[in-house]
Structure 1
Amino acid sequence: MGINVYANKTVIIDHSHQELVDTSIEGNPTEGAIDGLRIQYVFRRKTTKGHDRDGNPLVYALKQMNGYRMQPMYHQMLYKRADEILAVFVGDLDVDALVDVPSSKPLCRLFATRVAEVSGLPLVESNFLRKRTVGEVLDAIDASFPQFTKDRDERAFKAELGQLRRAKRDTDFQMKEVAKPMRRFFQPFTVSGEVPALAGQRIALIDDLVSSGTSIISVAECLREQGAIVERGVCLLSDLNAVRPSS
């Protein structure tokens, strides 16, 4: 099953091809690595020429974002296939628990619940994590300014920082407002409230889509600061460099 995206931003599942998103059992899962995390992806995004041709409209439709939509019957078809692919590999995660990456949309938590159901692993909900404020992000950067090997990267970072300093310090930091190449220099999440006992626990992080990887890396760092061992991740949709694991 691939996806078709129409001019009115309707997304449908199409059984006749695997374009834009490969949802086939034989083509999945795929995997990649980000900052020490081995991440396995249920569905592989693919690129083709043209507007909205990178598979992102599927996650937009699942999240009901940017005007994209998909009928419930296609949601059900997609999740049924996701469960079949998850069953192939989640038994080999070798972790003690799952933690979802915080999101303002319910998709990630819903997907994390499915991973927990298929794997039998407990889901530790990420209510103890929150987005940092603009002020907190700026203070962290001022305390430890990144080191750059290229002048152009430092100039680009300082330009992003200048934009951020014009925002209100008490508002939530929005990673989407930062240019993708610069996102790795920002830490969007922090621990807040009552933290579960994570010391020594092997954790797999659950996300819906990896773009720059900043969010999942930030959450991993937060959990490691609590003594957790975080080396694995599971995502619904892949980045664009995902590959089939070697047998």
Structure 2
Amino acid sequence: MLNNKICIVTGGAQGIGRCIVETFAQQGALKVYACDMNIEAMRDLEEQYSNVSAKELNVCDRKGIQALIETLKAEHGKIDVLVNNAGITRDNLLDRMSEDDWDMVINVNLKGVFNMTQAVAPLMIENGVGSIITMSSVVGTDGNVGQTNYAATKGGVITMTKGWAKEFSRKGAQVRANCVAPGFIETPMTIELPEKVLNFMKGKTPLGRMGKPEDIANGVLFLASDNSNFITGQTLKIDGGLVI
């Protein structure tokens, strides 16, 4: 599905991001650049897949991002797919949320997406084709208690994406921008939650289970591939019916 495509996945060291990297590699991408601050956690991906390259990257580091994009442009002349997956949480009720926790989540989850997309989009537009997929959340569409900062970023990337879908195609370029909004997903972070909490999550989901990283990766794969070449400006909810 991704034959001859050059792909970038941020937050590729663990969880959903790691699963996306593996899925892209298995689906024939020419090269998948797995980007994360924890490069050592991605070494085994390089060993397992000849078409995966691990890159140490902080999405808040604009100079580092530009250096990476310039290198990839020199090597390949193109970037076909960008997956903005890197993100953090610093949850708390509004009256207890510190300014530092607000700023940190905004910088990584919202400005980090801006930084990456601003660096990659011009090359895609120049080549006339590309797919940008940004990880949002059902929290970004419906909110959640104790996640003022996180919800703001995940709602923000949806509206940025809608604007980009219009902006990038103005002169005829087939550059698409979409979001994926996961529900409750089994990740290294969630599996450590108390069983009572996990059962609550499952009970709220009509399909009666938590999603797996593969469920999200398959949706991202579809939006990255040419099978979705008439889809742009959309948010794909992959949540087992949690938000209907």
Which structure has more strand as a fraction of its residues? 1
TM-score (norm 2): 0.31
TM-score (norm 1): 0.31
